[in-house]
Structure 1
């Protein structure tokens, strides 16, 4: 079904439900990419709780789970057209709308400090101000970014060095820079829809997948792989987007409330994620004791870090004229906050 058809049916169903219910609380529709219980869901639930409390019930947040409203591209289009108020999408998907946001697909681009990354993901001028006009051209407003945890690798073979990724088919998001990034790390990047990953791992069509540990558990990828690798090369970053027109139609006080609440939830979740990662990792190792958990040491990580330097140049080439400025500005912000906070 085309996204435009999905939009029409979704809008019609929403209108009918509102008529049936009579005049009640305003409903804000919020989609996530994954299933109930995942970190995206925990984020959405926290936002729902806080915004409903702050508006004294004048707003109800209704959460739609992965696949209910289509692909990530579908939900992004729904948000841009105002049929959906909030869409939680991985930043790799947003690269087709705003190439600059693929900055977050560069391995080792973020800090080793969670406090620094909270600043980068909630206050970066480079991201939230400089990129805003490009999002607006697509009818979108970038509201918030947060980390779901490290992008760990569930794999059919052990990986401790770039050489181990030779002829290794790594499932990635459909993102031009992710293709280049995983080539640079040494693998054979293989874009694949999320719903096909379990079967592809099981049948050895792919050799591994990068996902938050929570998703590796929730999606049962650990059942069909034998190794879980923590290279800590990248955080799996998610974005909350809304429609530029819809957000602009809100009263200024309501706009501020939404922005403040999303920032609060992003910081709250990034403080919670390390604890949640430990819990999900413990569940994986408890349910599959034979799973080999490999945590790379700093010398091993340095081998991948050296490879990732190439990806920065490819980001500049991909983005075009202002790519170098975006990269330099973001790295300068990271350096500034590391000096202040560490």
Structure 2
């Protein structure tokens, strides 16, 4: 081989080594924490998000299910501080941080179960244009919001109306509007971290809690309660966020990979939830045949719906003009989605 050609090949090899080294330096491991187990809805979403990121970039995603990094408040603090790059947290826990996010807890605003619910979350101006600014003000990039399923009341005694919740200590998330909701429903709302709920029900410190059906089944809340009531009052919503400084500092290419992964995982989780409530009901009935599972009639729901007006007024009182605009836009978005 002549010297010139040998020198050229050596040079090209050196460039290749430098390029490989550069690629390895740019590849990063990103941390993502969420509020549920890997096999629950948030965990299934997170795994799909991870799969898409790793298939379309050199980056890796490290997942942290509930409890591995503390309670919900802990992972939010870590996300805001940049210790975590991604976090999935319900607006129920961000109510004090972003008061307008409590709109998702106005009873009977969202359809409990609806084919149009996916269209609402996909196309809502409130979710896709208004909420990102509110999250950005708290150092968070809102990637997506998605529903997790109809919320049920899980209690020691049967519930057929607000009178049955009188003096019932009902666990709620640390969310001011959710507290107001259960006050309006006649209960004694009791904010508790999730880690204390099973023991609280077992020892009768509390006598009820609410969550989607899959969560009641997976966390075995049915073991320490006797009644599950579908009142149709809400659908559990969650939000996936990135630390904003981290997100804004990425290349256009990396931001696109993240945005695309969030969209693919969104469609995946909606499909995953088809029939999930029914599967959870079947599992609970198999594990505890005597469990009383009822769906309230429209007549039974009427007094709960009447109380919802009081809660909506409280939401406006808490959030002012900003909350009113969010609420009005959400109502328009919901109407468009159900046409």
Distance in structure 1 (CA, Å) of the matches to 2:112 and 2:213:
18
TM-score (norm 1): 0.87
Distance in structure 2 (CA, Å) of the matches to 1:157 and 1:70:
31
Q: Larger Cα Rg: Structure 1 or Structure 2?
A: 2
2:185 aligns to what? 185
**Contact 1:114–1:270 (Cα < 8 Å) also in 2:** no
Q: CA deviation at 1:23?
A: 5.4
Q: SS of the residue aligned with 1:321? A: helix
2:324 aligns to what? 324
TM-score (norm 2): 0.88
Q: CA deviation at 1:121?
A: 2.2
1:109 aligns to what? 109
Q: CA deviation at 1:264?
A: 2.6
Q: Compute the RMSD of aligned alpha carbons.
A: 1.8
Task: Name structure 2 gaps, 5 residues minimum.
Answer: 1-23
2:243 aligns to what? 243
2:20 aligns to what? none
For the pair 1:334 / 2:334, whether they are aligned, the reply is: yes
Distance in structure 2 (CA, Å) of the matches to 1:304 and 1:229:
13
1:10 aligns to what? none
For the pair 1:269 / 2:269, whether they are aligned, the reply is: yes
Residues 38-77 of structure 1: matches in 2 within 5 Å?
A: 38-55=40-57, 58-77=58-77
Length, aligned pairs only? 316
2:8 aligns to what? none
**Contact 1:97–1:135 (Cα < 8 Å) also in 2:** no
Cα 1:77/1:266, change in 2 over 3 Å: same
**Contact 1:76–1:241 (Cα < 8 Å) also in 2:** no
Q: Which moved more, 1:83-92 or 1:264-273?
A: 264-273
Q: Which moved more, 1:117-126 or 1:82-91?
A: 117-126
Distance in structure 1 (CA, Å) of the matches to 2:53 and 2:303:
45
Cα 1:198/1:243, change in 2 over 3 Å: same
Q: Map Cα deviations across residues 119-164 of structure 1 (whole Å, 9 max, x no partner).
A: 3323322233223332222111111111121111211011111111
Task: Name structure 1 gaps, 5 residues minimum.
Answer: 1-21
Q: CA deviation at 1:188?
A: 1.3
**Contact 1:160–1:300 (Cα < 8 Å) also in 2:** yes
Q: CA deviation at 1:187?
A: 1.5
Q: CA deviation at 1:52?
A: 1.7
2:31 aligns to what? 29
Cα 1:302/1:257, change in 2 over 3 Å: farther
Q: SS of the residue aligned with 2:275? A: helix
**Contact 1:101–1:127 (Cα < 8 Å) also in 2:** no
Residues 23-172 of structure 1: matches in 2 within 5 Å?
A: 25-55=27-57, 58-111=58-111, 114-172=114-172
Distance in structure 1 (CA, Å) of the matches to 2:230 and 2:271:
19
Q: SS of the residue aligned with 1:94? A: coil
For the pair 1:195 / 2:195, whether they are aligned, the reply is: yes
2:10 aligns to what? none
Q: CA deviation at 1:63?
A: 0.6
Q: CA deviation at 1:171?
A: 0.5
1:294 aligns to what? 294
Distance in structure 2 (CA, Å) of the matches to 1:238 and 1:326:
17
Q: Which moved more, 1:78-87 or 1:233-242?
A: 78-87
**Contact 2:112–2:149 (Cα < 8 Å) also in 1:** no
Q: Which moved more, 1:112-121 or 1:60-69?
A: 112-121
Distance in structure 2 (CA, Å) of the matches to 1:204 and 1:290:
20
**Contact 1:152–1:231 (Cα < 8 Å) also in 2:** yes
Distance in structure 2 (CA, Å) of the matches to 1:23 and 1:247:
18
Q: Map Cα deviations across residues 194-226 of structure 1 (whole Å, 9 max, x no partner).
A: 111111111111111101112112211110111
Cα 1:263/1:32, change in 2 over 3 Å: same
Distance in structure 2 (CA, Å) of the matches to 1:40 and 1:283:
20
